[in-house]
Amino acid sequence: MSASDEVWILGIQMTKFGKHPDLDTVDLAAQAATGALSDAGVTMADIGVLAAGNLMNASAGIGQQLQKQIGQTGIPVYNVANACATGATALRTAIMAVKAGEVDYGLAVGVEKLSGAGLLGGGGSRKEDADTWTPAGRYGAVAPIDGRIGTETMPGVFAQIGMEYGHKYGGTSFELFAKISEKNHAHSTLNPLASYQKRFTLEQIMNDVMIAYPNTRPMCSANCDGAAAAVVCNGETLKTLSLEQRRRAVKVSASVLTTDPYEAGCQVLPNVNTLTRKAAAIAYEQSGVGPSDLDLVELHDCFATAELVHYDNLMLCEEGGAAEFFNSGATWRDGSTPVNVSGGLESKGHPIAATGIANIWEVCHHLRGEAGDRQIANAKVGLAHVIGLGSACGVHVLERSAA
């Protein structure tokens, strides 16, 4: 084997997202993995590397647990954890092994059980204040700072990220952010695998329970259970496969992972812009695809306030022009750059480690012409984006097979 320039997604699967009280984490991972293998037309005997992620139990070794249920073949397992970019990181790990020429086929899996998890990011198990004030940690804090010095809750952090965009460029409002959520919930009605497939009116969204202004409950990603998995292979291997496999294979034209470069404000509010813009720029360069070539985009709308800033970061619009871009209707499924036709994280759901593969499944589904009622007609090129705080950003550009 030698280093390969081409990497293809041969098979990919996502489970239904939602509540799965009767399935454990390994069941869900197995369902996605065996589905992806069968979709690819290969078995565990063909797979040379397994990369797996399950963020909430990152030390449990989900990869090996999964092997016990679907095939212990002795191949290397990379258990990965990279916040909400865990799934994309697993996929990227498998892609790197294929690209390096170490293996012909790689399998990537992301899974999460998150139903009923509630609010993420804040001091969920906050300890009582101490009996005597004793400075501790890198801030020398005598008491927990979440809630006393700003917020660490995800809805609040991402609310500020959207508000900061408005501070810089103007044009944002509570209503604008709610309209983004209205779009994604409307899109979800066509996705049978989404956690929620309910259309909301703008009024319903704005009058729902406020979580962290301006994000109301339907403007926040839905905690749910789910898994997604993908089989990747190199170009030489693909050539040996059947016409049907070659026709359904999706080309990985760019696979990029970045972290947040230093910027003065990032120590007080995570900057999700720098690393997304950087990942997008590299992805466009690698693939030779430009933003205007994209037939659909799945981006990380963990909150409605986040979707807006990523229009700009992914260069789908001019710098500073995200509000105008959205108001033009461009990102609705009948617009010029459909965004989150799956329903996005707000309605499809966000089982953390699964998300970075599930969004690629969505794009592949359209590129293969298999998306049914929500098919974007004649889709040839798509982009999938995820971001995890800390931070990590994954961007993949995918292209339809010419076979």
Partner 1 sequence: MAGQIPLVDYLVLDGAQPHLVAQECTNCGARFFDRRNACANCFAAEFTTVPIATEGTVRAFTIVAFAAPGIPTPFVAAVVDCDGTQVRANLINVEPDAEHVRDGMKVRLATQSIGVDSEGTEAIGFGFEPIG
Spatial contact of 13 and 361, defined as CB atoms under 8 Å apart: yes
What is the DSSP pairing of strand 250-259 with strand 392-400? antiparallel
State the nearest-atom distance from the C-beta of 126 to partner 1, in Å: 5
State the nearest-atom distance from the C-beta of 386 to partner 1, in Å: 22
State the nearest-atom distance from the C-beta of 160 to partner 1, in Å: 4
> Which ranges constitute the DSSP H helices of 100-173?
154-169
Spatial contact of 121 and 147, defined as CB atoms under 8 Å apart: no
Task: Please tell me which residue in 20, 300, 350, 396 is annotated as part of the active site.
Answer: 350
Summarize as ranges the residues that interact with partner 1 (CB under 8 A).
119, 122-124, 126, 128-133, 135, 138-143, 145-151, 153, 155-156, 159-161, 163-164, 166-167, 174, 209-215, 262, 264-265, 267-269
Token code pair at residue 316: 């789908």
In the three-class reduction of DSSP (H, G, I as helix; E, B as strand; rest coil), residue 113 is classed as coil
Q: Indicate if 350 belongs to the active site.
A: yes
> Closest CB to partner 1 among 117 and 142?
142
Spatial contact of 84 and 387, defined as CB atoms under 8 Å apart: yes
Task: Please tell me which residue in 84, 220, 233, 364 is annotated as part of the active site.
Answer: 84
Q: CB burial class (10 A; 0-12, 13-18, 19+) of residue 265?
A: exposed
State the nearest-atom distance from the C-beta of 352 to partner 1, in Å: 19
Spatial contact of 53 and 76, defined as CB atoms under 8 Å apart: no
Q: Which of 112, 109, 179, 162 has its CA nearest to residue 346? A: 179
State the nearest-atom distance from the C-beta of 264 to partner 1, in Å: 6
In the three-class reduction of DSSP (H, G, I as helix; E, B as strand; rest coil), residue 399 is classed as strand
> Closest CB to partner 1 among 209 and 377?
209
Residues belonging to the active site: 84, 350
